[in-house]
Amino acid sequence: MGSQPSFVAYIALGSNMGDRERFLSDAIRLLDEHEAIQVSAQSNIYETDPVGYTDQGPFLNMAVEVETSLSAEALFDVMMQIEQRLGRVREIRFGPRTMDLDMLLYDDLRQDDPKLILPHPRMLERAFVLVPLIEAMQGRHPQQAAELSAQLEKLEGKEGITLWKKMQ
């Protein structure tokens, strides 16, 4: 990255169609292959009961930490391109998908742009987002991870989340 400014962002990944684990690894690879993005940490993979629209298969969820020289908007655009490359079709809100990428945090940025609200507006209500996010943050932001763990304790729905695969 050289002298480029570097920002740290956290991205949630989810898939519940086809070869879910391959879609997760493909998304991470595509993020990491971008010249301005480096995946610096990743959580384990969790299997999660669907939320909202429940007539669909269970999700695999994880979170990654990336270092990037991109702005939040530019990173978001790359994420949307990766979703499309991996066959995402937005038909049903909260419906089944090959790949769902959500930006959770981008440095300390707070913004209310309708296209990209940061921090992610529903992140603190979703155990399936917080469990992997806390793992991905442990290394660099232990204090923030601890605060999110306290938030997680208060949430319903944790029993719907099971460890699927340990990542090395």
**CATH code at position 27:** 3.30.70.560
Is 20 part of any domain? yes
Q: Residue 53: pLDDT band by 50, 70, 90 thresholds?
A: low
Give me the torsion for CA of 85, 104, 125, 151, rounded to 10°: 140
Q: Which of 77, 88, 93, 108 is catalytic?
A: 88
Which residue carries 């991470």 as its tokens? 28
Is residue 96 a part of any domain in this protein? Answer: yes
| Element of type H or E holding 165 | strand 161-165
Strands (DSSP E) contained in 6-151 are: 7-15, 37-42, 45-48, 59-68, 100-106, 111-113, 116-118
110 in catalytic set? no
Does residue 83 sit in helix, strand or coil? helix
Q: Which domain holds residue 103?
A: 7-165
pLDDT score, position 96 = 64
Please indicate whether residue 22 is annotated as part of the active site.
no
Which among 26, 77, 102, 140 is annotated as catalytic?
A: 102
Task: Name the catalytic one among 55, 100, 107, 110.
Answer: 100
Q: Is residue 117 part of a domain?
A: yes
Number of domains in the chain: 1
Tell me whether residue 1 is in a domain.
no
Residue 2 lies in a domain: no
pLDDT by residue (tens digit) across 120-166?
988 998 899 999 999 999 999 999 999 999 999 988 767 778 888 88
pTM: 0.90
Q: Does residue 107 carry a catalytic annotation?
A: no
